[in-house]
Amino acid sequence: MPNIVYIATSLDGFIADKNNQVDWLHDIPNPEGSDLGFGDFMARIDALVMGRNTLEIVLSFGIDWPYNKPVFVLSNTLTDVPAGLEDKVFLVNGPLPQVVKQLNAQGYNNLYIDGGKTIQGFLQQDLIDEMIITTIPVLLGGGIPLFGELASPLKFKHVKAEPLVDYLVQNSFIRQR
């Protein structure tokens, strides 16, 4: 029942810039419109778990809802999902191990974990089994970091490095327990 991170970072490890923006992700030339493996990854997962901030960023893109899997949003403050997404977005809260257990009990066993605070929280609870991190060749000099403090080190095994569209490197890691 893996919990998987699939995310892009800057060379200096940030997932959003100092203004909480991610437009720098789209500066890489991609003339053939490759999804960079995202479609294959989405085929592996049952549902997404993200924080409220990540939901707001996705909604700010001004595009049709991009996910065809259920999205569970961790929030202690939201009481309603955005209009039109009632059958796609579901609010959850509580301790992360309990949330994962509840989702697994509902048949959602392969979870895509997304969003800075959410990923950091899952790592702090040692609930991440795999990470797929695509590095964008830009230095942001600050912003929202992918990683935060941990009580103790978590060891991962590097299992794959793949160059993408002549500019990016996608690295895959598996948690070593």
Query: pLDDT tens-digit profile of 26-68?
Result: 888 888 888 889 999 999 999 999 999 999 999 988 888 999 9
Strands 89-92 and 144-145: unpaired
Strands 144-145 and 14-16: antiparallel
What pLDDT score was predicted for residue 119? 98
pLDDT per position as a tens digit, 101-155: 999 999 999 999 999 999 999 999 999 999 999 999 999 999 999 999 999 999 9
Backbone dihedral angles phi then psi of residue 101, each to the nearest 5 degrees: -60, -45
User: Residue 41: what residue type?
Assistant: F
Which tokens go with 71?
């999205």
pLDDT at 1 over 80: no
What pLDDT score was predicted for residue 31? 83
Predicted structure pTM score? 0.94
Range 101-127 burial, b when 16+ CB lie within 10 A, else e: eebeeeebebbbbbbbebbbbbbeeeb
CA distances from 126 to 52, 70, 115, 121, 155 (A): 21, 23, 16, 9, 10
